[in-house]
Amino acid sequence: MTANPRPDETAAAGLFSAGAADEATGLRDAAGTGVAAEDGVDHTAAVDEDELVARLRAAGCVFAEEEAAVLRDGDPDPGRLAELVARRVAGLPLEHVVGWARFAGRRILVDPGVFVPRLRTEVLVARAAAYVRAGSVVVDLCCGSGALGVVLAAGAEGPVELHAADVDAAAVRCARRNVEPLGGTVYEGDLYAALPTSLRGRVDVLVANVPYVPSAEIGLLPAEARLHEAPVALDGGADGLDLARRVAAEAGRWLVPGGRMFLECGEHQAVAAAAALRTAGLTPSLHHDEDLDVTVVSGVR
């Protein structure tokens, strides 16, 4: 397990077969009564469920029934549904097609190009959540859509002080849509440099799902990640731990005494990641989840 690969991780996600990408681009009028509009899409015809599932399956979507249900969510009109299906069949991640992802039981808005929160990352969130109390200061570095911070804040017994940051402007825009309704703040910039200095020494829980794919393995990722997620969201440098080391190195300056940080990595990276935390003066511990094949490295100041 090397990275953040995703297509087969989410219950509703399917494996996309690139070979099917240029097959049909719209749904046929199953009843044979619809009239195609100028855009070539029939906006009136009902969409036959069996045909929808068959098209998704032909395009390589393993969980075609689940994907069909997600695409139908909100009861889009037939023309809109046809557009959504065409984009999915053309290879866009399901979450980018519909604009949201299910993460830890919540619906997280996900904009095009922004990293889709992975099922495996729920392990990190569950471990961090055990330390979030009402009034906690929670920081989500490398926040992407803001999914981790949102779940931690929404699941707390009372309001928390939530701060999130990302270097990618598209991610920041997306995170603001998820985080601000909960009263949180999202900053744009490089790791801690994005945060207000007033947070130094005050952070109770720091989560950072940093990119951790070794650069040489980016080309091995599924097409959905390689083609539709920003490289900056995936590439962790030579051994995948460049960002993890940088986050660990400075964590002690931002955590309150007794505060904790949480990272995710591959099993083979865990020992080196834990060593980075120890070097930074934190006491590390490791948790490996066999089912989701992910390791969470945490450290207490």
Ligand X SMILES: C[S@@+](CC[C@H](N)C(=O)[O-])C[C@H]1O[C@@H](n2cnc3c(N)ncnc32)[C@H](O)[C@@H]1O
**Residues found near ligand X in the complex (CB under 6 A):** 4, 115, 117, 121, 142-145, 147-148, 166-168, 171, 190-191, 209-211, 230, 232-233, 243
CA distance 42 to 60: 24
Between 67 and 140, CB nearer to ligand X: 140
Q: How far is the CB of 164 from ligand X (least distance, A)?
A: 9
Residue from 234, 232, 210 nearest 221 by CA: 234
- Bridge partners (DSSP) of residue 101 are 108
Between 79 and 144, CB nearer to ligand X: 144
Task: Indicate the burial class of 169 (C-beta count within 10 angstroms; 0-12, 13-18, 19 or more).
Answer: exposed
Q: How far is the CB of 61 from ligand X (least distance, A)?
A: 22
Q: How far is the CB of 103 from ligand X (least distance, A)?
A: 7
Q: How far is the CB of 205 from ligand X (least distance, A)?
A: 14
Q: How far is the CB of 69 from ligand X (least distance, A)?
A: 23
Q: State both tokens at 163.
A: 């701060």
Between 16 and 103, CB nearer to ligand X: 103
Q: Which residues contact 10 (CB under 8 A, 6 or more apart)?
A: 94, 95, 101, 102, 116, 118, 119
DSSP state of 46: P
Q: Parallel, antiparallel, or unpaired for β 255-265 and 185-188?
A: unpaired
Q: Which residue is nearest to ligand X (CB)?
A: 144
Between 205 and 233, CB nearer to ligand X: 233
Between 3 and 274, CB nearer to ligand X: 3
